[in-house]
Structure 1
Amino acid sequence: MGLTQFSFGALVRTRWAYALRGSQHESLLNTAYALEAAIDEIVFIFGPILAAFLATSVHPVSQLFVPTLACGIGGAVFFSLKNTVPPVLEPIDVVAAEIPDAQSNAVTGQPAPALQTAGDHAAPTPSPEDNGFRLRRLHRPYSAKPRNVLTYRGILPLLVVFVVFNMSFTAFDVSMTATMKAAGAERFLGLQLAMFAVGSCIGAVIFGSREMKGSHWRHMVMFLTLLTVGYVVFRMVMGNFLILGVMEILTGLCVSPLFATGNLIVKDIVPARSLTEGLSWVTTAGSVGTSFGSTIAGAVLDASSPHMSMMIPWIVTLCAVPLALLGWFLARKRPGRGTGRATNTAA
């Protein structure tokens, strides 16, 4: 099923970059990406609740039909919005034509070409030989296969960062599920996990409503550090679900800004023609990370206890910090592309 899905998140964010390009509203791209992150969190809040209701009250597999219909209807509407589709651009260098003037004609002894007047309805169109224009002067320097996104400085470290810190989310979910089941409070599990998404949604609104100064890489390191501290507190208060819920909201404030910042970094690094590919790689890296997180947390739970598996989130997020610093260093060393908006790429 995954092979049949478009990376809708990457497609949407690419269209935002195209819609806001070259205008006085281009600085709103930060807001647009934060809005997309907030919408994602709303889905994470209500999606599991709706799925559980359909599975228990309608039919065990009915929750599979809702996302199928949503994807089909929403996808059809999305692809029908032609006015925001970025064109496939291929730059072409054109050498200025040398049009002969009266002086050059006087030297060569050739008569100057007659100019067409309003009354000359049947005047012939000058041929390429008359104005010195040659088709061979057109050349397509970018007609070859575009450069692989993974070869740009900073992209690979960014993808590794997304793989590593995304492990923390599913590791926390699995650990929290085991913790509440052991306490006999599994009926409140959906509400408990939703607090994290609520905080992330609020963080997206705050992040998108203001323009942060400095490098996007610096923001990523800051958000990863705060997320690490939040996970450490989770481990300390995991026995008190009320305090844990409050800490989930506070820590969740960093989640959506973290994803939005990653997308902005890709926007700064790769050229416009490869933006969809770059954003798709970020989404893929996040999916790979969530898969590893649940697998590792499950293995730790089988071998030990929820208290040990709750250590995984802050450990993997802490490991992502030096990787982000490495990506920041590599991105600062990269040569300028000469295209696109040069904002927030340097320290």
Structure 2
Amino acid sequence: MFSSYREILSKPGAALFSAAGFAARYPMALISLSMLILIHTAYGNYTIAGQVNAVGILGFAAGAPMLARLVDRYGQAKVMRPAIMLSSASLLAVAGVAAIQGPVWLLYVFSVTAGMFAGSIGAMVRSRWSNLLHQPDLLNTAFALEAALDEIVFMTGPMIATALTTYVHPTAGLIACAVIGVLGGIWFFSLRATEPAPTGKIAAGSLDAGMIMKSGTMLSIAATFVGAGAMLGSIDVAVVEFTKELGVPASAGLQLGIMATGSLLGALIFGSRQWRVPLSRIYISVVIALALGTSTFLFTTAQWSLGIAMFITGMAFAPTITIATTIVQRIVPASRLTEGLTWMNTFMNIGTATGLTVAGRLTDLHGSTGGFFMAMIGGAAMTVVAVATLPLIRTSLRASRRQHSQELQDAISGEEHTESSTGRTEDLSSSAETAGSAESAETQNPGEKVE
């Protein structure tokens, strides 16, 4: 089952940069809950806590694509080393202001700064995988592996955040985020051998900065990430309130960890298989499954029933993100991949900010039911957009395969004129035939493997 994972991790430097990337992005699972509990403890208001979280996420949404564009042009280490220092310092400032119950506007300022300079570490890890692997099946496995690692982060992170803020000190969670972020970032960005080569300035006539998100397919996938983010943000708030209503507030992290455990299992199973159905069909299936799982939260009345609902919903979450990420990787130019993936993270964070803000207000008014209702709305909206734009996604995937096939044929022609070695030409021919077969499968026999 796990032979495909062993294969990708045996590539030079792969295991090391994946582990370092795991450490560098670990704080992402601690920040939201740590900030939510800290600010609610200090100011006694979920609305303020949700808003401070939201402005930090919107700061990420504004800053991450710009940082990603700079990363693609000038390299990961050169851009991100100073950025993570500033982001971590801003987190410490949020903790300091909340500890003394300082002016709320300062929380907003430091939170937005922390988000703006955080960067999308996950996108940079996946960019390294795309630079290292060129077989679609192996790349899908790599993306599934990273989704699984994300879930380990989210499985353990909320429990750690809850324990630190509840049993150590309300500021301990954010302090841990800052320290881990700096140490993990220094490790990850020191691994220069696997860092994608910077492209330099974009040549005249090439895609400008905004054109990646002018694609209808990219906007459709972005809507999926917005819905998923709204769902996650709403669940964070609702679960904290739900466990308080039951008199066991310290179990909030455990419940979030159960969802992450389900997502981890879903990612591992999904990534271990070579799927023989069209990518677009898998995509719509997992999106619908995720929305159905989210709708079950409204019917939970106890810890055990919420745990079951969280686990089932989690099983569909990581495959949804993996498939959506794979679609983006297929349709975005390789030289803009970090930016393309970061845009998706940006839209997820916009969704999370929306979920936190709206669910925070609904929870203040209606308890945990209000927060879970917002999560259901996020899942439903994501499904409606996915179903409506499915033909567009299929068309873009077919066009991408045709372009890939043509590029391989052009490479073969160039090799025939410049090299006498037949081994390289045969490799390229084999790849071209594979791409051609995939395109044919999408258009003639949907039941066959297409990716």
Please state which band the TM-score falls in when normalised by the shorter chain: 0.7 to 0.9
1:325 to 2:387 alignment? yes
> Relative to 1, partners in 2 of residues 1:304 and 1:256: Cα closer, same or farther, differing over 3 Å?
same
State the shift of 1:221 in Å.
Answer: 1.5
State the shift of 1:46 in Å.
Answer: 1.7
- Given that 1:158 and 1:327 are in contact with CA atoms closer than 8 Å, whether structure 2 keeps it comes out as no
User: CA–CA distance in 2 between the matches of 1:45 and 1:245?
Assistant: 13
State the shift of 1:142 in Å.
Answer: 5.2
> Relative to 1, partners in 2 of residues 1:302 and 1:26: Cα closer, same or farther, differing over 3 Å?
closer
State the shift of 1:64 in Å.
Answer: 2.7
> Which fold has the larger relative contact order, with Cα–Cα distance below 8 Å and residues 6 or more apart in sequence?
1
1:87-102 correspondence to structure 2 within 5 Å: 87-88=197-198
Question: Out of 42, 50, 66, which is 2:176 matched to?
Answer: 66
Listed as ranges, the gaps of 5+ residues in structure 2 are: 1-113, 408-430, 447-451
TM-score, length of structure 2 as denominator length: 0.60
Pick which of 156-165 and 321-330 moved more.
321-330
Residue in 2 that maps onto 1:11: 124
User: CA–CA distance in 1 between the matches of 2:366 and 2:339?
Assistant: 40
Q: Which amino acid aligns with 2:178?
A: T
Question: Out of 315, 319, 325, which is 1:257 matched to?
Answer: 319
1:154 to 2:264 alignment? no
Residue in 1 that maps onto 2:35: none
SS at 2:389 equivalent: helix
Residue in 2 that maps onto 1:83: 193
Q: Which amino acid aligns with 2:193?
A: N
- Given that 1:152 and 1:270 are in contact with CA atoms closer than 8 Å, whether structure 2 keeps it comes out as no
Listed as ranges, the gaps of 5+ residues in structure 1 are: 91-140
Q: Which amino acid aligns with 2:123?
A: A
Q: Please list the CA deviations of residues 224-266 of structure 1 after superposition, one character each: whole Å capped at 9, or x if unmatched.
A: 2112222222222x11321321232122111111111111010
1:1-347 correspondence to structure 2 within 5 Å: 1-21=114-134, 25-88=135-198, 143-147=204-208, 148-236=211-299, 238-334=300-396, 335-336=399-400, 338-339=403-404, 346=442
- Given that 1:157 and 1:326 are in contact with CA atoms closer than 8 Å, whether structure 2 keeps it comes out as no
Q: Please list the CA deviations of residues 120-177 of structure 1 after superposition, one character each: whole Å capped at 9, or x if unmatched.
A: xxxxxxxxxxxxxxxxxxxxx9554434211234001111221123211221232222
State the shift of 1:191 in Å.
Answer: 1.4
User: CA–CA distance in 2 between the matches of 1:13 and 1:261?
Assistant: 13
User: CA–CA distance in 1 between the matches of 2:322 and 2:305?
Assistant: 28
- Given that 1:155 and 1:327 are in contact with CA atoms closer than 8 Å, whether structure 2 keeps it comes out as no
User: CA–CA distance in 2 between the matches of 1:51 and 1:284?
Assistant: 23
User: CA–CA distance in 2 between the matches of 1:167 and 1:316?
Assistant: 5
Residue in 2 that maps onto 1:113: none
- Given that 2:162 and 2:250 are in contact with CA atoms closer than 8 Å, whether structure 1 keeps it comes out as no
User: CA–CA distance in 2 between the matches of 1:47 and 1:199?
Assistant: 15
Q: Please list the CA deviations of residues 78-102 of structure 1 after superposition, one character each: whole Å capped at 9, or x if unmatched.
A: 2222222223469xxxxxxxxxxxx
State the shift of 1:70 in Å.
Answer: 2.1
Pick which of 152-161 and 325-334 moved more.
325-334
> Relative to 1, partners in 2 of residues 1:143 and 1:82: Cα closer, same or farther, differing over 3 Å?
farther
SS at 1:253 equivalent: helix
- Given that 2:160 and 2:253 are in contact with CA atoms closer than 8 Å, whether structure 1 keeps it comes out as no
State the shift of 1:321 in Å.
Answer: 1.4
> Relative to 1, partners in 2 of residues 1:10 and 1:210: Cα closer, same or farther, differing over 3 Å?
same
SS at 1:259 equivalent: helix
Pick which of 54-63 and 181-190 moved more.
54-63
**Aligned length, in residue pairs:** 293
SS at 1:228 equivalent: helix
Q: Which amino acid aligns with 1:29?
A: L
User: CA–CA distance in 2 between the matches of 1:12 and 1:33?
Assistant: 9
Give the greater-gyration-radius structure (CA): 1
> Relative to 1, partners in 2 of residues 1:54 and 1:260: Cα closer, same or farther, differing over 3 Å?
same
Name whichever structure is richer in helix by fraction.
Answer: 2
User: CA–CA distance in 2 between the matches of 1:76 and 1:302?
Assistant: 40
User: CA–CA distance in 1 between the matches of 2:367 and 2:180?
Assistant: 38
User: CA–CA distance in 1 between the matches of 2:374 and 2:174?
Assistant: 31
User: CA–CA distance in 1 between the matches of 2:156 and 2:122?
Assistant: 18
> Relative to 1, partners in 2 of residues 1:321 and 1:2: Cα closer, same or farther, differing over 3 Å?
same
Q: Which amino acid aligns with 1:325?
A: V
Residue in 1 that maps onto 2:80: none
- Given that 1:217 and 1:324 are in contact with CA atoms closer than 8 Å, whether structure 2 keeps it comes out as no
State the shift of 1:212 in Å.
Answer: 1.9
Percent identical pairs in the alignment equals: 33
TM-score, length of structure 1 as denominator length: 0.76
